[in-house]
Amino acid sequence: MKLVILDRDGVINEDSPDYIKSVAEWKPIPGSLEAIARLCHAGYRVFVASNQSAIGRGYMDYDALFAIHDRMQRSVAELGGRIDAIAFAPDHPDQASAKRKPKPGMLLDIARRMGVSLDKVPVVGDSFRDIEAARAAKARPVLVRTGNGAETERKHGADLAGVEVYDSLAAFAAALVAAG
């Protein structure tokens, strides 16, 4: 089974220091939805694993989160793609569970549910905590320069040995599909 796990904010949609709290604030990064569809057309199953501390901080509720996810899934479906499942950690960072990245809980849960090893499974993110979670889950960490990715690359360059870096989710998807 071919699997890809994506972070949401900064990879699929624009990020904000004020959090993405509503459907109106959710704006896809150009090319990201098409990239997900491209991965699906190439036989990949696409999952999302995203920290959503805006819930734990009281900035939004679950209904708002689910409305955003519904919009994202419908937008991908309109392009012929599919997001198989969305895992999220609603925790406040001060009360983080094993699910909240940089811990690998969400990734390991996806692997358990799918009955697969994460060895060689790309986990695409824009922050160092995404890279740390992928490494802890023994997956294949990938950094994109969208969202916080360019800053992550500047700040943690020495700690990114062995991490593939792409300009965007679209660039990553094109490379992955071309590699077969």
Residues labelled catalytic: 7, 9
Q: How many residues does the chain have?
A: 180
Type of residue at 29: I
Burial 5-30 (b: 16+ CB within 10 A, else e): bbbbbbbbbbbeeebbbeeeebebbe
Type of residue at 149: G
